[in-house]
Amino acid sequence: MSFIYEKILKPVFFLFDPEAMHHFFNFVGRILGKTGFTRWLVRGFCWPVADEVLETDIAGIKLAHPLGVGAGFDKEGRIVKILKEVGFSFVEVGTVTGQMSPGNPRPRLWRLPLDNALVVNYGLVSSGADVCRQRFAEESEEWPIPVGISVAKSNVPNLSGEAGLEDLLMAFQKLQLYANYVTVNVSCPNVGDDCLYCDDSNLYRELLKRINDLHPFKPVFFKLSPELSEDRMLEILRDTEPYPWAKGFVLTNLTHSRDGLISPKKDELKSGGVSGPGLRNKADKALAFMAKNGGYRFEFIGIGGIDSVDDLYRKIRLGASAVQIVTGLIYHGPLWPSQLMRELSAKLKEDGFKNVREAIGVDVIGK
Ligand SMILES: Cc1cc2nc3c(=O)[nH]c(=O)nc-3n(C[C@H](O)[C@H](O)[C@H](O)COP(=O)(O)O)c2cc1C
């Protein structure tokens, strides 16, 4: 069936504007998630996996298996119900910003099919924390799987310094109640002021202090860029360590680099971050380094360039307690998540692991 998606449906979908298709899939997902019957149909079609070998947890949150949806696919928590039936064990909703933020001018999403990649320049489109809070208050009780909520500073002009920080904290404070965990997105590569909290040690420390003042009551993760130096990653680990609510890191966000891409279009697209396999090596390197140096204290969610079960399994062995995909879902279709989980289960058994937890970090920290 994945063959039908890749050879027949995807070429048709790819005739249309990528952002329009993103909205279309969210719309269809919302419709299909509405009734028990449509959810049952999708479940029957996608055949989600239930296998004890895959059961795991992250920051104390139980997961049926380690595969979730990365931030950016379901920006406002509208399709959580159907993503469960498609076979995901958790969803990271967002990124939601404090104020409403229209994002960057269109076009701002492109496909690079030769690379199974996307170039993303959304620039944090969000209805804002108030609208999302109201929606989450109405809908979150019905979310059937754990949901992380990703928050960031709004990408609107003249929102820097203290005002920018306040904006992010407002989103954090208003939304954490509805999340199983909160991810603070400190690494969006497409914001107007290029102000990345993960790049600047003073800003990052101030952010930690101010989140601490809010007395977080949910596990908090920080999503980092794949472009950080080893020294900077060590500094981030050291600065984050004293805060007990800080449970780990999501590695990684999109990359600015076009290295290794073969699509002719790559050089025309000057702005935007690249997803997909071109990002994989950088994301894996950052994950391995952070897990090796911070695995005694933190947990990690691995994301970036997963295009096969080998990519996914590698991230677990490099230290990821859970993994996420975005671009792979678009390129391989809705049957792919369950296929990945079946293949992962077979690989774990082949390597003698009784449970996926035993495989976490074996290649870097010798667990
Ligand atoms: C269309 C799109 C929108 C995204 N939006 C966000 C976002 O709002 N917040 C965020 O933290 N990451 C966002 N990302 C980055 C992804 O969560 C992920 O880190 C990146 O795409 C690498 O994973 P992948 O190779 O599986 O796509 C977005 C990615 C894509 C493709």
- Which residues form the pocket of ligand 1, taking CB atoms under 6 Å from any ligand atom? 70-72, 94-95, 109, 118, 120, 122, 150, 185, 223, 253-254, 275-276, 279, 303-306, 325-328
Q: Which atom of ligand 1 is nearest to the CA of 279?
A: 25
* Residue in 119, 326, 327 to alter for ligand 1 test, most ligand atoms within 8 A of Cβ: 326
- Among residues 135, 74, 83, 76, the alpha carbon closest in space to that of 101 is found at 76
Structure tokens at 301: 């969610």
- 128: alpha, beta or left? (left if phi > 0; alpha if psi -120 to 50): left
Confidence of residue 241 (pLDDT cuts 50, 70, 90): very high
CA distance 198 to 209: 14
Answer whether residue 225 shows pLDDT above 90: yes
Query: Tell me: the pLDDT tens digits for 254-268?
Result: 998 888 888 887 777
Give the three-class secondary structure for 13: helix
* pLDDT recorded at residue 216: 97
Residue 29 burial (10 A CB sphere; 0-12, 13-18, 19+): buried
Distance from Cα 77 to the centre of ligand 1, integer Å: 15
| Beta bridge partner(s), residue 69 | 91, 325
Distance from Cα 31 to the centre of ligand 1, integer Å: 23
Cis amide prior to 327 (ω within 30 degrees): no
Nearest CA to ligand 1 atom 2: 72
Q: Which of 5-19, 59-73, 184-198 has the lowest mean pLDDT?
A: 184-198
Nearest CA to ligand 1 atom 13: 72
The single residue listed with the structure tokens 């678009």 is 330
Distance from Cα 362 to the centre of ligand 1, integer Å: 27
For the segment 157-179, the average pLDDT, to the nearest whole number, is 90
Q: Are 305 and 153 in contact (CB under 8 A)?
A: no
Answer whether residue 195 shows pLDDT above 70: no
Domains of the chain: 2-359 (3.20.20.70)
Structure tokens at 120: 């993303």
Nearest CA to ligand 1 atom 29: 72
* pLDDT recorded at residue 367: 46
The whole-model pTM stands at: 0.95
- How much is the mean pLDDT over the chain? 92
Nearest CA to ligand 1 atom 6: 72
Distance from Cα 275 to the centre of ligand 1, integer Å: 7
In the DSSP assignment, the letter for residue 79 is S
In the DSSP assignment, the letter for residue 66 is S
* pLDDT recorded at residue 366: 52
Nearest CA to ligand 1 atom 5: 72
Residue 221 burial (10 A CB sphere; 0-12, 13-18, 19+): buried
Distance from Cα 315 to the centre of ligand 1, integer Å: 17
Phi then psi dihedrals of residue 183, to 5 deg: -105, 125
Phi then psi dihedrals of residue 121, to 5 deg: -135, 35
Q: 172 or 159: which carries more pLDDT confidence?
A: 172
